């Protein structure tokens, strides 16, 4: 009997995590039951060799002492277990301890109350006869006491071997809450009933029945508030691990959501896991686009020195949704797969959990070492890791998107700044070019006045100078107009304008280039629209047509013919400019009016240009609420059609 209590106490010190006890302490602990055991042996021997009852009192006293030592040792062991239960934060260890305490406590209770108290002569001598009779009625048979020891062994086996088969804290918590609520409600019912009877002085049966009914109604009203209060109290003070677990999960999730950097989110994840599970190491790796794994956060793992690590992208993409765990490191292997990567054994990594984006692709990896308590990862641990990894992945993805948007905004701002600087530069250079060009044009006109009329060669040369000045002026005007369009400062002066006059004006302006390029250009104006007017900026329309004619000249082939036609189409006036040149490829048509767009065709590239002319034409026609249409066959030529609303239609 005495050694049973010492065994329980010794077991409580070394379970569930082994702990080395001092030899002196062990000797003293086992010396306590040794002396009563030796006295019991002496008393038993003296009564049997020869048979005598002289030492019977000594035997009974020693036997009572051994039972007391057993009870004290068992209670002390339970107390040590309860202290461990309160101090530890590991859910696994707490459940193991809870099952063992339940087993030992059940055995002690059955032995003390239904057996020891009911069979002890000392207890019977101290109690009144009627109370003694009650003890006799609750006394259990020795066979039932043996059965209680079997149940005790079962509880301890569950705690040691399969402590997760039942959720012991669930039973404890619900039992504690139910017992407390029942006791409080019974006390409340009694207090209300007693108070009402004292206040009213009721003695009759009907009055007492009414008072009982009132007390019962009060208890029913207070049932839900009392139960909620008791549940919060039990959660906070008796089962703090689960309470703190939920609190920690909420806190870690909130901290991850507040981070503004990828590394900060990873550090919060590793610190939170270490705080809850007490692992030997935690490591977060981020998968970069180039296939490298970059270390974001590290806790423990002193051998891990690499800031970056290259892994084949297919191995990362092929990771399963379930965690990868080394054998015997997880309790339930149904929801996990075996970790077989070579580098994990070198660094002591026992668990790998993928961190995924919202679309399911792998964003990073969480690597964990084993628990310091030497226990395995539970299903609750794996569920927690899944939740935290999912939240971390979403947060890192959100931060990456924010960073991408910020970079794009910065790049767009920089491009706008460069575009503005380019516009001002081009505008300034263009104005600087126009000043000497005007002087050249002026002196060419003065020179023409002094050349004799019969000097055809001199007049031809002066005409070339004037024509090239006009062509250069048009090019400069194109650049200036485009810079205005970019800055949004382009303005048009709309007035009633006769289309045929504008077309003839453009035709006359381009005569010099037609002559120099040996182009045969024909003009046909429909007589029915000679007097038709449109609301337009005549100079802008001339610029649009001269740009189209310049392109027709530039891309003309061997057949150097260009035709200009005006015609009417219902409420619109159409201007057709047709050439028989290179034509335009189908893949180039959709980009034709984009600024600076140039076809990659070799024949086009040979003819120079920057790709501004058609963009200006498009802007001018859009400003006039008109349309521009292109028909082209590669190798046969192109036809550009400008259509404008007539003032009659408006």
Of 207, 235, 263, the one marking the end of a domain is 235
Of residues 152 and 510, more confidence is placed in 510
| Cα–Cα distance measured from residue 547 to residue 617, given in angstroms and rounded to the nearest whole number | 7
Residue with tokens 């892994």: 311
- Count other Cβ atoms within 10 Å, centred on residue 181: 18
Burial annotation 511-550 (CB, 10 A radius, 16+ → b, else e)? ebbbeebebebeeebeeebeebbbebbbebbbbbbbbbbb
Which value, to the nearest 10 degrees, does the dihedral of the CA atoms of residues 75, 79, 80, 84 take?
A: 150
Q: What is the CATH number of the domain that holds 558?
A: 3.30.565.10
Give dist(CA 202, CA 467) in Å, integer: 128
> What span, in angstroms and rounded, lies between the C-alpha atoms of 166 and 348?
32
Report if residue 460 sits inside a domain. no
| pLDDT on residue 501 | 92
Last residue of a domain, one of 405, 427, 460: 405
Candidate ranges 60-64, 74-78, 361-365, 627-631; pick with highest mean pLDDT: 627-631
122 and 85 part of one domain: yes
Give the residue among 155, 21, 9, 157 at the shortest CA–CA distance from 83: 9
User: Is 563 a residue whose pLDDT tops 90?
Assistant: yes
**Residues contacting residue 270 through CB under 8 Å, at least 6 positions apart:** 282, 283, 284, 297, 298, 299
Do 127 and 269 share a structural domain?
no
Which of 436-450, 490-504, 627-641 has the least mean pLDDT? 436-450
Of all residues in the chain, the percent with pLDDT exceeding 90 is 12
List, in order, residues 6 or more apart from 275 with CB less than 8 Å away: 248
> For residue 131, is pLDDT > 50?
yes
Cα gap 73→13, rounded to integer Å: 12
Return the pLDDT at 578: 94
- What's the mean per-residue pLDDT of the chain? 78
d(CA 639, CA 650): 27
Provide the domain count of the chain: 3
How are beta strands 324-325 and 337-338 bridged, if at all? parallel
Residue 299's CATH number: 3.30.450.40
pLDDT of residue 643: 93
Q: 591: which DSSP letter?
A: T
In this prediction, residues 387-392 reach a mean pLDDT of 90
CA–CA distance, 137 with 441 (Å, rounded to integer): 134
Listed ranges 152-166, 243-257, 273-287; the one with the highest mean pLDDT: 273-287
pLDDT at 644 over 90: yes
Task: Check whether residue 69 and residue 141 sit in a common domain.
Answer: yes
- Give the CA distances from residue 251 to residues 245, 255, 261, 378, 562, in Å, rounded to whole numbers and listed in that order: 10, 6, 18, 21, 78
Residues 161 and 263 in one domain: no
Question: Does 472 fall in a domain?
Answer: no
State yes or no: pLDDT of 306 exceeds 80: no
Give the pLDDT score at 243. 47
Same domain membership, residue 369 and residue 281: yes
The tokens for 265 are: 């989110």
Q: How far apart are CA 554 and CA 584, in angstroms?
A: 13
CB 354 within 8 A of CB 362: yes
Q: Identify the domain containing residue 628 by its residue range.
A: 491-645
pLDDT of residue 166: 45
Element (H, E) at 251: helix 240-258
Q: What is the C-alpha to C-alpha distance for residues 612 and 630, in angstroms, rounded to an integer?
A: 17
Whether 416 maps to a domain, the answer reads no
Using the 3D structure, point to which of 345, 372, 405 is the last residue of a domain.
Answer: 405
Model confidence at 365: pLDDT above 70: yes
CA dist 104 → 9, 73, 97, 164, 167 (Å): 11, 11, 11, 18, 18
Q: Is residue 25 part of a domain?
A: yes
The single-letter DSSP state of residue 628 is: E
Is the domain of 303 the same as that of 355?
yes
Domain match, 217 and 326 both: no
Question: Which of 146-150, 293-297, 642-646 is least confident?
Answer: 146-150
Place of tokens 């402590």: 163
Q: What pLDDT shows up at residue 219?
A: 74
Domain membership of residue 159 (yes or no) is yes
- Do both 106 and 194 map to the same domain? yes
Range with top average pLDDT, 86-90, 146-150, 510-514: 510-514
List, in order, residues 6 or more apart from 276 with CB less than 8 Å away.
89, 245, 248, 384
CA–CA–CA angle 516, 518, 520 (5° rounding): 125
What are 630's strand-pairing partners? 640
371 within a domain of the structure (yes/no) = yes
The pLDDT of 452-473, averaged and rounded, is 78
Residues 193-248 pLDDT 10s: 777 777 776 555 556 666 777 777 777 777 778 777 776 676 555 554 444 567 77
Alpha helices in 451-510 (DSSP H): 456-487, 499-509
pLDDT > 70: percent of the chain: 77
Residue 439 inside a domain? The answer is no
Contacts of 91 (CB under 8 A, 6+ apart): 241, 242, 245, 378, 380, 381
Q: Which residues of 326-352 are buried (b: 16+ CB within 10 A; e: fewer)?
A: beebbbeeeebeebeeeebeebbbbbb
**Strand order from edge to edge, sheet including 362-369:** 308-310, 292-300, 281-287, 362-369, 349-356, 324-325, 337-338
Query: Mean of the pLDDT values across residues 138-142?
Result: 59
Are the beta carbons of 330 and 377 closer than 8 angstroms? yes
Q: How far apart are CA 354 and CA 202, in angstroms?
A: 73
Are 230 and 354 contained in the same domain? no
Give the pLDDT of residue 611.
75
**Co-location of 253 and 397 in the same domain:** yes
The reported pLDDT for the residue numbered 165 is: 42
The answer to the question of residue 447 being in a domain is no
Backbone angles phi, psi at 535, to 5 degrees: -80, 105
Closest CA to 566 of 539, 545, 589: 545
Rounded distance between C-alpha atoms, residue 111 and residue 285, angstroms? 57
Identify any residues that bridge with 295 across adjacent strands, giving them in sequence order: 285
What pLDDT, on the 0 to 100 scale, is given for residue 642?
94
Judged against a pLDDT cut of 90, whether residue 640 lies above it is answered with yes
Whether residues 259 and 215 fall in one domain: no
CA distances from 522 to 511, 538, 551, 632, 635 (A): 11, 21, 16, 19, 21
Please compute the mean of the pLDDT values over residues 83-105 and round it to a whole number.
74
Task: Verify that 514 and 539 share a domain, yes or no.
Answer: yes
Token reading at 214: 């009132």
Round to whole Å and give the CA distance between 431 and 90: 80
């Amino acid at each position: 009997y005495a050694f049973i209590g010492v065994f329980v106490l010794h077991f409580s010190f070394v379970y569930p995590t082994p702990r080395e006890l001092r030899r002196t302490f062990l000797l003293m602990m086992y010396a306590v039951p040794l002396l009563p055991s030796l006295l019991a042996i002496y008393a038993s021997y003296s009564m049997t060799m020869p048979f005598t009852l002289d030492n019977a009192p000594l035997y009974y006293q020693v036997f009572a002492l051994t039972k007391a030592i057993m009870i004290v040792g068992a209670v002390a062991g339970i107390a040590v277990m309860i202290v461990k239960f309160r101090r530890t934060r590991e859910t696994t260890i707490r459940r193991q301890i809870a099952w063992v305490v339940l087993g030992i406590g059940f055995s002690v209770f059955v032995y003390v109350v239904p057996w020891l108290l009911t069979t002890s002569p000392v207890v019977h001598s101290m109690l009144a006869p009627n109370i003694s009779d009650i003890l006799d009625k609750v006394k259990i048979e020795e066979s039932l006491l043996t059965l209680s020891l079997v149940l005790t062994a079962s509880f301890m086996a569950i705690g040691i071997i399969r402590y997760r088969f039942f959720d012991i804290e669930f039973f404890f918590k619900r039992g504690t809450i139910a017992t407390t609520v029942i006791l409080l409600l019974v006390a409340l019912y009694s207090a209300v009933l007693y108070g009402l009877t004292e206040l009213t002085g009721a003695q009759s049966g009907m009055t007492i029945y009414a008072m009982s009914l009132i007390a019962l109604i009060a208890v029913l009203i207070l049932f839900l508030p009392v139960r909620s209060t008791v549940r919060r109290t039990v959660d906070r003070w008796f089962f703090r691990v689960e309470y703190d677990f939920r609190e920690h999960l909420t806190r870690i999730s909130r901290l991850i959501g507040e981070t503004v950097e990828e590394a900060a989110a990873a550090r919060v994840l590793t610190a939170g896991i270490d705080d809850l599970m007490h692992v030997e190491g935690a490591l977060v790796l981020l998968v970069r686009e180039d296939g490298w794994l970059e270390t974001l956060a590290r806790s423990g793992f002193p051998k891990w020195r690499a800031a970056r690590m290259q892994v084949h992208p297919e191995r990362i993409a092929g990771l399963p949704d379930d965690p990868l765990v080394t054998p015997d490191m997880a309790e339930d292997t149904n929801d996990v797969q075996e970790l077989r990567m070579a580098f994990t054994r070198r660094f002591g990594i026992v668990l790998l959990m993928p961190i995924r984006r919202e679309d399911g692709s792998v964003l990073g990896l969480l690597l964990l070492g084993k628990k310091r308590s030497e226990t395995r990862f539970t299903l609750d641990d794996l569920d927690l890791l899944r939740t935290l990894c999912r939240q971390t992945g979403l947060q890192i993805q959100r931060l990456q998107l924010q960073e991408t948007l910020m970079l794009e905004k910065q790049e767009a701002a920089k491009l706008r700044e460069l575009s503005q600087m380019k516009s001002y530069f081009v505008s300034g250079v263009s104005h600087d070019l126009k000043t000497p060009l005007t002087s050249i044009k002026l002196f060419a006109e003065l020179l023409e006045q002094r050349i004799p009329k019969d000097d055809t060669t001199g007049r031809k040369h002066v005409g070339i100078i004037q024509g090239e000045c006009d062509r250069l002026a048009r090019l400069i005007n194109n650049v200036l107009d485009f810079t205005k369009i970019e800055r949004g400062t382009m303005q048009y002066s709309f007035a009633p304008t006769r289309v045929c006059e504008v077309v003839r004006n453009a035709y006359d302006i381009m005569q010099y280039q037609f002559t120099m390029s040996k182009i045969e250009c024909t003009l046909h104006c429909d007589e029915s629209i000679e007097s038709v007017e449109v609301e337009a900026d005549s100079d802008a329309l001339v610029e649009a047509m001269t740009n189209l004619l310049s392109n027709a000249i530039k891309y003309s082939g061997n057949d150097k013919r260009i035709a200009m036609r005006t015609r009417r189409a219902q409420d619109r006036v159409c201007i057709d400019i047709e050439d028989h040149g290179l034509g335009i490829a189908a893949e180039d048509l959709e980009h034709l009016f984009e600024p600076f767009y140039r076809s990659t065709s070799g024949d086009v590239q040979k003819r120079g240009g920057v790709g501004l002319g058609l963009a200006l034409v498009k802007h001018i026609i859009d400003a006039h609420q008109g349309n521009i249409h292109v028909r082209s066959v590669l190798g046969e030529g192109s036809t550009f059609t400008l259509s404008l609303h007539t003032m009659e239609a408006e």
